[in-house]
Amino acid sequence: MNEHESEKLGGILENMGYIEAENTESADVIVFNTCCIRENAEQRAEGNIGALKKLKKSNKNKIIAVGGCMTQQKGRAELLKKKFPFIDIIFGTHNLADFESLLKRKLETGKSFIEISSDEYSMKECNYVSRKMFPSALVNVMYGCNNFCSYCIVPYVRGRERSRTPENVVNEVKSLVEKGFKEITLLGQNVDSYGKDLTPSIDFADLLKMVNGIDGKFRIRFMSNHPKDVNEKLCNTIKECDKVCNSVHFPIQSGSSKVLKDMNRRYLGIDSMNKIEMMRSIIPNVYVTTDIMVGFPGETEEDFNETLEFTKKARFNGAFTFVYSPRKGTKAAEMPNQVDENVKKERIIKLVDLQNSINLEHSLNAVGKQVTVLFESFNEKDGLLSGRDEGGKVINVYHNKNLIGEFKNVKITKANGITLYGEII
Ligand code: SAH
Ligand code: SF4
C-alpha cells in the first residue's frame, strides 16, 4: 500500500516536471512517505529525516516534505515539526492527491506548514502514478479498515473502509493491460470487505470475476484477506478464474484462540485451520502465505507453542513474522501483561527458524516441477533472469533480459537453500 502511494507521489512530481534525482544531495524536493505500523518504522523514518538537517542548512531551497501514516497519528505532526523544524511540508494520508497544490503553496509563499485532513471521505483519487514495478502493477480496490484489531494503528490513520467502484477498478486494470502490464495486484487492508459500502452490492469474488473478464494475457493477485471472511465463494472464484493466481495471503496472526480473542480478530485457531484446509481442498496447488505476530500482551509460553504447532501443521508457503510493537492509541497498548522484550526475541527466533525449515522443504519439493514464470528482472553480474511463479516464488534462469514481461514454462532444476533455479522449456 505504501509502495503504491510512493508511486503516486512520484507520478504527481513527474507531472509537475520533476525528474528522479540521483541522491538526496542533488534533489530539489525530498518526500518521505512514512509508515507507523511498528515502532521501528517510525524510528527509521525519524533517523532518515534527522540525517538531512545539515543538507537543509547548507541549501535552504531544498524542500523536505513528510507524509504517510506516521504524520496522521494524533498530535504526531506537531511533535515532528518540533523535533525537526526544518521540515517544509507535513501532510496526512488523506492529503496525498493534493500534493501538487501543497508543493506549489510552499514554492509560492516560502512558508512551512502542516496539512492533515481528518476526513477520509474528502480524500481524492490520485490521477498520476509513476509505475516502478513493470511488468507488475498495484491497484487499490479500497482504502481504510473497519476491523480494529486491538494491536493495529491502521484504522486510526487510514480511516473507515471506502471501496472504489468496480468500474473504476476495471478501467484502471484495462488501461494497465493495454500498456503491457502482465501482473495486477489488487490492494486492500481487507479485500474481503470490498463492496460492503457500495450499492448495488458486490463482493470481492464478484470483482475478481469482472477483472478476470478483461481481455489480454495477465495475472491477477490480491492482498490481504482476513481469515474471518474467506469463504467458499471466494475459493471457487479463485479456482474458476483462469487469470487469478492460486495464491492467498492469509494472515493468521496467532495460533492461540485466547490471543486471537484479545486481538479482536473474531476467529479461533481452529477456524483459520479449517479455512486453510478448505482453500487447499478447493483451489488446486494453492499457495498459502501468512503474517504471524509474537509477543502480544498476555501471550504465554503455552499460547506461543500453539502458534508454533499451528505453523508446523499449516505448512505455509511463506510467512512474514513480526514482534508485537505497542502503538499509542490502540487497545493492546493499554493491556496489562506486556511481554518482556527478551522473551519476544526468543520467540521470534524460534518461529523464524521453524518457518525457514518449512520454506526449505517447499523449495526442495519444488525441484522437478514445471511452473509458469513471469520474468521481471535481470542481474547483469551473474547473467540471471528472475521471475515469479503463480505462488509468487522467485525462480532464476540463465537467459538474456529480453524475456522481461513474458510468461514462460520453466522446469525447476535446482534448489540452493530457498533459491530456486530452472530451465525454460
Ligand atoms: N490488513 C492486513 C495487514 C495489516 S499490517 C491484515 O489484516 O492482515 C501487516 C501486518 O503487520 C499485520 O498482518 C500484522 O501481522 C502486523 N502488525 C500490525 N500491527 C502490528 C503491531 N502493532 N506490532 C507488530 N506487528 C503488527
Ligand atoms: Fe490492521 Fe486488522 Fe485492519 Fe489488518 S484487518 S489493517 S491488522 S485493523
Q: How far is the CA of 367 from the centre of ligand 1 (A)?
A: 33
Residues of the chain with CATH 3.30.750.210: 133-245
Under-50 pLDDT residues of the chain: none
> For 47-59, what is each residue's pLDDT tens digit?
999 999 999 999 9
> For 33-46, what is each residue's pLDDT tens digit?
999 999 999 999 99
Q: Is 190 in the pocket of ligand 2 (CB under 6 A)?
A: yes
Tell me what pLDDT residue 179 has.
98
Residues of the chain with CATH 2.40.50.140: 367-424
Written as one string, the DSSP assignment of 266-324 is ---HHHHHHHHHHHHHHSTT-EEEEEEEE--TT--HHHHHHHHHHHHHHT-SEEEEEE-
Tell me what pLDDT residue 145 has.
98
Q: Which ligand is nearest to the CA of 151?
A: 1
Residue to substitute in 145, 158, 267 for testing ligand 2 pocket (most ligand atoms within 8 angstroms of CB) = 145
Which single residue is written with the C-alpha cell 533480459?
401
Q: Which ligand is nearest to the CA of 35?
A: 1
CA distance between the termini of the chain: 35
Q: Is 147 in the pocket of ligand 2 (CB under 6 A)?
A: yes
Q: Is 145 in the pocket of ligand 2 (CB under 6 A)?
A: yes
Rounded CA separation 128/137 (Å): 13
Q: Is 224 in the pocket of ligand 1 (CB under 6 A)?
A: yes
Amino acid letter, residue 320: F
Q: How far is the CA of 254 from the centre of ligand 2 (A)?
A: 14
Query: Topology of domain 133-245, per CATH?
Result: Transcription Regulator spoIIAA (3.30.750)
Residues of the chain with CATH 3.30.750.200: 247-366
Angle at 219 between CA 213 and CA 220, to 5 degrees: 70
| Whether CATH 3.30.1370.60 fits 247-366 | no
Q: How far is the CA of 20 from the centre of ligand 1 (A)?
A: 31
Strands in 205-246 per DSSP E: 219-223
Residue to substitute in 149, 266, 293 for testing ligand 2 pocket (most ligand atoms within 8 angstroms of CB) = 149
Rounded CA separation 89/106 (Å): 8
| Whether CATH 2.40.50.140 fits 367-424 | yes
Q: Is 330 in the pocket of ligand 2 (CB under 6 A)?
A: no
Which single residue is written with the C-alpha cell 512520484?
10
| Whether CATH 1.10.3720.10 fits 2-122 | no
Angle at 295 between CA 355 and CA 71, to 5 degrees: 100
Rounded CA separation 18/11 (Å): 9
Residue to substitute in 142, 150, 152 for testing ligand 2 pocket (most ligand atoms within 8 angstroms of CB) = 152
Quick one: the chain helix, strand, coil %, rounded to 5? Answer: 40, 20, 40
Q: What's the farthest any 2 CA atoms get from each other in the chain?
A: 64
Instruction: Put residue 285 in one of left, alpha, beta given phi > 0 → left and psi -120 to 50 → alpha.
Output: left
Q: Is 283 in the pocket of ligand 2 (CB under 6 A)?
A: no
Tell me what pLDDT residue 220 has.
98
Report the C-alpha dihedral over residues 89, 93, 94, 96, rounded to 10 degrees: 60
